[in-house]
Structure 1
Amino acid sequence: MKLQSLRRAVFGLSTAALLVAGTAVPGHAAGTADPVLRDLAAAKGVYYGTAVTASKLTGTYAAVTAGQFDSVTPGNEMKWGSVEPVRGDFRWSGADAVVDFAEANGQKVRGHTLVWHSQLPSWVENGSWTAESLRTVMTDHIATEAGRYKGRIHHWDVVNEAFEEDGTRRPSVFQRVVGDGYIADAFRAARAADPAAKLYLNDYNVEGINAKSDAMYALVRSLKAQGVPIDGVGLQAHLIVGQVPSTLQANIKRFSDLGVDVAVTELDIRMRLPATEAKLAQQKADFKAVTQACVAVARCTGVTVWGFTDSDSWIPDFFPGEGAATPYDEGFRPKPAYHGIAEALGWSGGPGPGPDPVGGCAVTYAVQNQWNGGFTAQVTVRNTGTAPVDGWRVGWAWPSGQSVTQAWNASVSQSGTSVTAANLPYNAVVAAGGSVTFGLNGAWSGANTPPAAFTLNGAACAVSMPTAG
């Protein structure tokens, strides 16, 4: 797909006329179009993804996820304790929701994770096992989960966090009972369950060259020599501001030289709170450096941030007094780090003079007709920026279960409550100060409540409700 075809504005709807103004974007000049990370990444031949929480995939959270990222990773929904808390009792709703969302929005899915020492159900962690019985339980679990999503997962983190900091094997229940061979067994079971998925070994504190990454390197080399089907290595990259390893790119390169792909799988860069301009500037440089290191190595396939917004970050709960670790703040406003990522992917818009609001668009939405179970609406979006919009993408979420049944002057798709409207070939360009109008018919039941949040090309927009006169 051409880059231009993905550059689409995002606006929203309500049941009364409403105005969508620009977002406050730190470090971005007023009137400058925000970059779309998934487009920039695709142009570089990599993906840019985010971890997500299934229960939050509505409203602005869903719109930014769909608009900015071309890969998603379920943060918790595919872990053993989530999908099989009781032996043989599989619970798929959260994982299904993430996979369905990704497919509806043209995104890849990184499956995370099949075998991990943490977030295991008690029946696995505390069971009375022989090596053979635990191996069977493990491979049966892999066969069931990976088999359920066969053909729908791009990468699987097959084994997660197998090493201690000194490079010795972590004494998980699998290591203690089955022994060193559990890792090869897990990869073989995953390949049998889904031959098309790329199979990864994933760990943290292995971003630079050190004792732990040396042990991981030796294991990958050994697995390759044994013919074990390992396709990639995941470097989690839970980093601290100002501490990106100087050997990151060299480390990516040496793993790729073994004949495996490499991905940065869980990137966040935390700081001691409160955040300051200086810390945010350093964080921008760090996100840029990590992204550049991946882009520089041919077999680095992409980067995933571990949550794109500070409102969905694990850091404050695990590191008291630290946080602000993601590219967006808690109000879904891009931070300087977001622009650092974009610059590493080739965006040349520059950092701008400071945290000025972006005057991107003004949207008027009016219900022209409403009847029992249905309505007709007309939407006009005006480009209030100083440059033309070349291709627009509209995203919103219905808060009351409404659905679009017909549309004109736009291509509209819906998955659950999330809706995307895109330009047609003849109305892709909206001049500065110009506008474009489209209409829709919709269905409703019980209420026709207006959406509460909207985005423009993946960036959240502020919303104001004009007073009726």
Structure 2
Amino acid sequence: MLRRLITGAALLAAVLTTAGPASAADTPLRDLAEARGVYLGSAVTAGRLTGGYADVAGAQFGSLTPGNEMKWDSVEPTRGTHDWTGADRVVAFAEAHGQRVRGHTLVWHSQLPGWLTGGSWTAAQLRTLMTDHVTAEAGRYKGRIDHWDVVNEPLAEDGTLRPSLWGAALGESYIADAFRAARAADPAAKLYLNDYSTDAVGAKSDGMYALVKRLLAQGVPVDGVGFQAHLVLGQVPASLEANLRRFAELGVDVAITELDIRTTLPATAAKLAQQKADYASVLRACLAVTRCAGVTVWGFTDSDSWIPDFFPGQGAATPYDENLQPKPAYAGIAETLAPATPPTPGVCSVTYAVTSQWTGGFTAQVTLRNTGTTPLNGWTVRWTQPAGQRVTQAWNATVTQTAAEVTATHLAYNAALPAAGSTAFGFNGTWTGTNPPPDLTCTPGT
């Protein structure tokens, strides 16, 4: 996707004087993500990697994507003359901060240099120009890129091949050629297809699914599929997780590559709360799929978002506001990435109450509760009668007494207790002198 470049002096001053996130004392998002086996990344603008913007980018994200700096019109504005300044700056920053880099993008139908789109080329010439470009760029950063978006947005909305410069002249074969050139130039990098509006199961994602299957059958080195996820508030696809999973089952990795969630402005507290829930929902979908490599937000601050320029009246799409302060969406990401609470084995607790008492006799009730987070399968309650009491009759449990020691065990119908579930049994007994309550212990299991 095309991204907005921010150059205003007032904004630059704000960036340079902002201290960073209010929650800097918390565990960085990148560390939370790494602990869950995924990365959390952000697209960045090379010219802004200074001051507070750089502080947040370096501290919070484990992966960086150059927003524009690796696109063809940026790196080769004049044929045969390359300018790697912006791309080099992002890669160097990432390496200095222990971050991965997602290379974006080698072959795309947009942001192509004028000399290329304005030229008159045969199909063979165009194919050579493309593969030479892939070789030059991927080769320059060989061994330094984690993922390459090798081909970006190859499909039309109906799932067929987009009639782009590449598709119109070369057909689908250009995709395989680009991937093979990228593999030869940078063998260690993961190679991705990337597209938008493929997040849900539907015509376009079906087309992508079929395309990936065809490419894999041809031996094309497709390692992963990227889902851009430029979403609208409250519209996270219900089928997102299932869609990611079906691609993963083809044997490729998947990733959310350009996540933002836009809303109509102004962004009210209610809208920001919904956005928090939406970000969390996307993160959960990734965490639920074993081959989901990670999630990249398309710009972490609203001051660097492409949304307002392309969707007038909409914005507030990122986890940080324009002053680099974390929004509720930040908390939604952090809470979702927080270490999962391990299940607590079924544990029973017991309470004892005398419900009726008369001269020489009494009725008692024992209530059990499963205080764990997993089901309880069977239970035994034991106690010692403190004053010579004797059990004479019981119900809802098998109760035996030897001297002062009493044991009660479950029956078939009340052995299983779900998490937070409870059951009770009772008994009649005799007493003389006093009838103090016993201390009871409960043991799970059969």
Q: What is the correspondence of 1:14-163 to structure 2 with a 5 Å cutoff?
A: 33-163=25-155
Q: Is the 8 A contact 1:310 1:325 kept in 2?
A: yes
Q: Does 1:213 find its partner at 2:180?
A: no
Q: Does 1:280 find its partner at 2:256?
A: no
* SS of residue in 1 equivalent to 2:294: strand
Distance, in Å, in 1 between the alignment partners of 2:201 and 2:19 is: 47
Partner of 1:188 in structure 2?
180
Q: Is the 8 A contact 1:129 1:177 kept in 2?
A: no
Letter in 1 for 2:165: V
Partner of 1:429 in structure 2?
none
Partner of 2:327 in structure 1?
335
Distance, in Å, in 2 between the alignment partners of 1:284 and 1:120 is: 36
Shift of 1:348: 8.6
Which aligned segments of 4 or more residues in structure 1 are displaced greater than 3 angstroms? 20-25
How far does the alpha carbon of each residue in 1:260-287 deviate from its partner, in whole angstroms, 9 at most, with x for none?
A: 0000000000000000011000000000
How far does the alpha carbon of each residue in 1:315-341 deviate from its partner, in whole angstroms, 9 at most, with x for none?
A: 001100000000000001000000100
Partner of 2:224 in structure 1?
232
Letter in 2 for 1:250: A
Distance, in Å, in 1 between the alignment partners of 2:19 and 2:176 is: 54
Distance, in Å, in 1 between the alignment partners of 2:287 and 2:139 is: 32
Q: What is the correspondence of 1:368-407 to structure 2 with a 5 Å cutoff?
A: none
Q: Does 1:311 find its partner at 2:303?
A: yes
Shift of 1:33: 4.2
How far does the alpha carbon of each residue in 1:302-327 deviate from its partner, in whole angstroms, 9 at most, with x for none?
A: 00000000011000011000000000
Letter in 2 for 1:231: D
Distance, in Å, in 2 between the alignment partners of 1:248 and 1:35 is: 28
Shift of 1:255: 0.3
TM (normalized to structure 1)? 0.68
Shift of 1:70: 0.6
**Root mean square deviation, CA, Å:** 1.6
Shift of 1:51: 0.3
State how many pairs are aligned.
324
Shift of 1:128: 1.1
How far does the alpha carbon of each residue in 1:121-140 deviate from its partner, in whole angstroms, 9 at most, with x for none?
A: 11222221111110000000
Q: Is the 8 A contact 2:179 2:220 kept in 1?
A: yes
Q: Is the 8 A contact 2:19 2:52 kept in 1?
A: no
Letter in 2 for 1:224: L
Distance, in Å, in 2 between the alignment partners of 1:62 and 1:316 is: 22
Q: Check 1:169–1:36 CA distance in 2 against 1; reply closer, same or farther (3 A cut).
A: same
Q: Is the 8 A contact 1:35 1:347 kept in 2?
A: no
Distance, in Å, in 1 between the alignment partners of 2:86 and 2:238 is: 38
* SS of residue in 2 equivalent to 1:320: coil
Shift of 1:64: 0.4
Distance, in Å, in 1 between the alignment partners of 2:331 and 2:142 is: 36
Partner of 1:302 in structure 2?
294
* SS of residue in 1 equivalent to 2:332: helix
Distance, in Å, in 2 between the alignment partners of 1:348 and 1:227 is: 38
Partner of 2:415 in structure 1?
none
TM (normalized to structure 2)? 0.71
Q: Is the 8 A contact 2:263 2:314 kept in 1?
A: yes
Letter in 2 for 1:98: V
How far does the alpha carbon of each residue in 1:62-82 deviate from its partner, in whole angstroms, 9 at most, with x for none?
A: 010010001000000000000
Shift of 1:346: 1.8
Shift of 1:347: 5.7
Letter in 2 for 1:199: L
Q: Is the 8 A contact 2:20 2:324 kept in 1?
A: no
Q: Check 1:21–1:318 CA distance in 2 against 1; reply closer, same or farther (3 A cut).
A: closer
State which of 229, 248, 262 in structure 1 corresponds to 2:240.
Answer: 248
Shift of 1:168: 1.6
Q: Is the 8 A contact 2:20 2:53 kept in 1?
A: no
Q: Is the 8 A contact 1:206 1:235 kept in 2?
A: yes
State which of 342, 345, 353 in structure 1 corresponds to 2:337.
Answer: 345
Q: Is the 8 A contact 1:72 1:107 kept in 2?
A: yes
Q: Which has the higher contact order (CA 8 A, sep 6+)?
A: 1
Q: Check 1:321–1:348 CA distance in 2 against 1; reply closer, same or farther (3 A cut).
A: farther
Partner of 2:192 in structure 1?
200
Letter in 1 for 2:166: F
Shift of 1:21: 9.1
* SS of residue in 2 equivalent to 1:234: strand
Distance, in Å, in 2 between the alignment partners of 1:331 and 1:21 is: 10
Distance, in Å, in 2 between the alignment partners of 1:337 and 1:287 is: 6
Partner of 2:420 in structure 1?
none
